[in-house]
Structures are given as C-alpha cells and as structure tokens.
Amino acid sequence: MPTITKDKFPCPVCTQPLEVRLTKKHKPYLTCDPCGVQVFVRGPAGIDEFKRLVERGNRDGILERLDEMQQRYRLGCPECRTRFWIEPRLIKTSAFDGSLKGFRCPKCGEVIPWERRA
C-alpha cells in the first residue's frame, strides 16, 4: 500500500497540485488521474533532487503561485470542456476596433470571453 505524504508537487502536464506518494521501498512518485500521468523518481541522485524541489516549493509557496497563475491564465471551454493556457495565437480581437474579445479554444474554436481578474 502506498504511503501518502503531506508534501505536494505540481503535475508536469496540468500543474494541479498532487500528493507525493511513497512506494513500499520509500521512493517518491506522483499520479495525476485526470491527465493519466505517472511520475516515478528513481535513483539516489534523482530522489535527493526531487526532495529538494519539494522542499523549495513548500518554502517558496510555488504551489500557491502556480494556482494563482492558473486562475488568471488558464481558461476552460464551456462547449467542449477543454482546459488551455492563454497564448498569443489564440487571441480573438474585434474586427471593428481591435479590442480584445477573448481567446479561441484550440480544440473547437469557441471564443471564451476574457475577463480581467485581479
């Protein structure tokens, strides 16, 4: 049975905070069910570096910063439910005055309005 630690680390695909788990041989790993990603850290050097990254994240509040960035710059399409990061190629502007209208979903093309978030 895996051991769940109090530590968190972001998924390398969707950046959601994940619980760091330990195998029966006490090696760290992550599992992100929505993405289907599993990360296993092997070898003494890799385990030491991973522990350093987790400690740095806990100390510097990296997970809170990622969460803040995700709330500001990651949109969800109401049409196809795809989550995506905003980027210049997805910008939709008004043909009339050039103002920002929103961002096109990269999967279905639906325009998601941009709301400035403080």
> Which DSSP symbol is given to 2?
P
Structural domains in the chain (count):
2
In angstroms, the CA 106 to CA 15 distance is: 19
- Domain coverage including residue 39: 3-60
Does one domain contain both 28 and 51?
A: yes
Task: Classify residue 86: in a domain, yes or no.
Answer: yes
What is the tens place of the pLDDT at every residue in 81-113? Answer: 998 988 999 999 999 999 999 999 999 999 998
Condensed to tens digits (0 to 9), the pLDDT of residues 30-76 reads: 999 988 999 999 999 999 999 998 988 888 887 787 777 777 788 88
Name the nearest CA neighbour of 15 among 77, 52, 68. Answer: 68
73: left (phi over 0), alpha (psi -120 to 50) or beta: alpha
DSSP 88: G
- Whether 10 and 63 have beta carbons less than 8 Å apart is answered as yes
> Which residue's structure tokens are 């960035």?
69
